[in-house]
Amino acid sequence: MLNEIGCGPCGIITLMTSPSATPVIVVGSVNMDLLFTGLPAIPRPGQTVTSDTFRIIPGGKGANQAAAAARLGATVPFVAAIGTDDLGDQAFAALEAEGVVLDQVRRVSQPTGVAAVVIDATGENAIIVNPGANAELRGADAVAVAARYAGSPAVVLACLEVPVDTVTAWARVARANGWTFILNPAPAPAEPLPAELLGLVDILTPNETELEALGTTRSLHASGVGTVIVTRGGDGADLERPGEPVHHQPAFPATPVDTTGAGDSFNGALATALAEGLEIAAALEFAAATGALSTRAIGARDGLPTRAEVDASLAR
Ligand code: RIB
């Protein structure tokens, strides 16, 4: 939703965004991140390196996306599987603190997903994920949430850290309900995505590496993907739709400390803006501003901006 706010004597009208009731349903992964920072370099095969600091912090692409959207003011029902272990309790509590709606999170007997995240002195990172409980997320989980929101608008955001069959089930549910379905194809899939899934994606948001794994924007459009947004880090993002010129969104100025999770915050913000009714180019700008701000702190969530911070960045 856009509000017009006049600034009195200066006569300038500022457009501010504000939260809406349309939910952003996030279907995705939950990890606890084992974070090693200050490495002299990302280790090569056979090499041992020493890190300056070590922390265990909440992560997982889906959970980061949900937290990003909630911090921006969205109502975020989250669909995920978390272990009943101590790490799962920590992951759950962190999402609860962000105000994410957690009644569709299943606690399962498998260990909570974990990720080893290593960051060198230049901010470069490498990540190893063990999915654990995330592999237990099933398409059947879609039914209860779908029933709750049927008949009203919604935006569904999914990533590929959960089984692709589950993502496809959600894409079907989204299409059947007329909801916008955003797929963040991260991490890059090892195998081609099912044709059915691609045909159900409204907006695909690969980074450059993920796009290489998936084909080209042209081949994706031919597979039925309506809109492709390619994120290019410091080079901004390109919005590509069949038959339209490419719309380039420049990157917002940032001095990144850690880019881990920047894509997740971008996607959470994109979904939030679309749920509020922004048109796609404005939603992309909102997402780019959010993603840039998120790189200001170490870890996937510490840098996530509030609504006011994003609005201030957009107004600059
Ligand atoms: O996108 C960043 C995330 O990727 C980390 O939080 C880690 O858990 C991995 O899933």
Question: CB-based burial of residue 189 (10 Å sphere; 0-12 exposed, 13-18 middle, 19+ buried)?
Answer: middle
Residue 41 included in any domain: no
Query: Residue 181 in 3-state DSSP?
Result: strand
Distance of CA 260 from the midpoint of ligand 1 (Å): 7
- Within a domain: 99: yes
Given 33, 202, 264, 311, which residue is catalytic?
264
Atom of ligand 1 nearest to the CA of 263: 1
Distance CA 154, CA 120 (A): 39
> Which own/partner contact pairs does 229-234 have at CB distance under 8 Å and 24+ positions apart?
229/203, 229/204, 229/205, 229/270, 229/284, 230/205, 230/206, 231/205, 231/206, 231/207, 231/263, 231/266, 231/291, 232/207, 232/208, 233/207, 233/208, 233/259, 233/262
* Residue whose tokens read 């994120």: 231
Domain membership of residue 276 as a residue range:
2-31+60-112+131-315
Give dist(CA 261, CA 294) in Å, integer: 8
Which amino acids bring their CB within 6 angstroms of ligand 1?
Answer: 31, 33, 59-61, 64, 115, 117, 127, 129, 161, 260-261, 263-264, 300
Residue identified by tokens 């969104």 is: 249
Mutational test site, ligand 1, from 35, 56, 117, 162, max ligand atoms within 8 Å of CB: 117
CA 63–ligand 1 middle distance (angstroms): 9
- Looking at residue 30, its pLDDT comes to 98
CATH number at residue 231: 3.40.1190.20
d(CA 257, CA 125): 11
Whether residue 25 lies inside any domain: the answer is yes
Ligand 1 atom closest to the CA of 161, numbered from 1: 10
Phi, psi dihedral angles at 124 (to 5 degrees): -65, 145
Active site residue 264: yes
Name the domain count of the chain. 1
Q: Does some domain include residue 86? A: yes
**Protein residue whose Cα sits closest to atom 8 of ligand 1:** 60
CA 17 to each of CA 65, 210, 248: distance values in angstroms, whole numbers, following the listed order: 19, 30, 21
Q: Is residue 257 part of a domain?
A: yes
Specify the pLDDT at position 19.
55
Residue whose CA is at the smallest distance from ligand 1 atom 1: 261
Answer yes or no: is 270 within a domain.
Answer: yes
Q: What is the pLDDT of residue 20?
A: 61
Structural domain includes residue 36:
no
Local confidence pLDDT in tens for the 316 residues of the chain = 333 333 333 333 333 445 568 999 999 999 999 999 999 999 999 999 999 999 999 999 999 999 999 999 999 999 999 999 999 999 999 999 999 999 999 999 999 999 999 999 888 889 999 999 999 999 987 877 788 899 999 999 999 999 999 999 999 999 999 999 999 999 999 999 999 999 999 999 999 999 999 999 999 999 999 999 999 999 999 999 999 999 999 999 998 889 999 999 999 999 999 999 999 999 999 999 999 999 999 999 999 999 999 999 999 9
Spatial separation of the C-alpha atoms in residues 265 and 238, rounded to whole Å? 17
| ω into 40 cis (within 30 of 0) | no
Q: Is residue 126 part of a domain?
A: no
Cα separation of 227 and 242, whole Å?
8
Residue 124's pLDDT is 83
